[in-house]
Chain A
């Protein structure tokens, strides 16, 4: 079956306040969707709710991953079912090396009754990791460094993409993956996204600015304002936004000036 993520009439609250106010969106394998919106429009709320962050309450609606409702599942189950979120602000976990962490994540996907030695994924882990790091031009030394501990903004984002390469999700959500990157880092990270997301992967790119979309070409663009998608269209919509700003989509000028 071809992968898909269907979001139906999703409403999400944080600390008792409704932020996402009814979003409907379907992402299929091979498609790249860009979700654009100003600060405070609900972009990060949506991505956290999709991944199952406990602080985000789903008020109503459905999240179907490959036809199955995942809205009540804990985050790890969603992950094992093929959903991936590249975080805007990945947290640091001191003492846990990147390799050790990824090995644990891969192992979590191997059935409990299968021994490491009998699992292709576990036996080949070291090779897979090395190949993925090579492919994404990540210094092999990062394998032994502690996860996101003391990493620069660009390094953290590259390690997020590395995780995506290893875990091979069917649906990937990239939350402001371009934020905090200079132009060279942006090119490297975008290049990574393009390599990792093939025809089997559906992608939701969440971004404030259009510039990431110069490198990762979306098939569809959606504009999110005040927790609702106000317009959907093709790549030309992003250019329209670039020219006219969020004001042209009915947002008050002071709200549109984000950063």
Chain B
């Protein structure tokens, strides 16, 4: 099949996505995905949708690891169609939902991150967006880790200089080839007025290993739809989430783990700490397809409620169509056990410090697997967030 060398294929698809966005109905609240978050929060007046390219919306911080290619997405569509064309929009499909279509049609800056076969990145690649400028921000990252490559990406959303409401729309697609090892750490520490919709999908091929962490700390509203398809035999996925909220913050995380191949493993663990009138929604699903034998799946969602005005919703779902399976899930909601606080306080630690210490211990397991530099960054953001609690 011949491919248009001028990138017009992408223009055409983006135009189609725009039409689809235009005509698509609002997300239905009768499905879990939007049960607890009013889609109107993300409704955007068309006049503020500005698709003018904004190179630098996603800015690499520090050196790009040796051997890793970081390309502009639109340029890559022209110059490297063989890399981009079959993958862009294949993991997070433009028709998955209205906001996914909007991103495809109107992203202002996109990057392709490519780890060629066998390349092991010695340092993490950090990509930062600090939201200033226009009210509407849309970015898109396509990660392609070829077989036997090894790559760590930190995707950071930081507080920018814009005051007032921000609508941010992010998409991250990750393709982990055979035996590739990808770590993706998303740190969301946006300014208090920001609203972020993030859609993230990973497709893990044979014996690939994918580790993701999402630390959701800032912003007014964050809705994330994060998933992994375990598509190759022996693939593994480990996901962690850390949510710290207070005030009137609203977090809605949805996760999907689909085991389409046998001998695959997924584990995930979302930890939530809530104060004030903060609300956390967690809906998750594990699906083991009929032909996927010998899978293991674990799903855990723990909610620490620090004040009685906080609210947590949790729907951890399982759909198991194969009996050769080990699968468990658990969810808890509750305060810090008074005995723990008493123990810490009895050693002379003031109450607030004891709470911080406990929370730190509560979320720490999420940071166990990341490189030290990334852990330091995560801990820095978390400490800052805890100071504000």
A/B contact in complex, CB under 8 angstroms? no
Interface of B with A (CB < 8 Å)? none
Interface of A with B (CB < 8 Å)? none
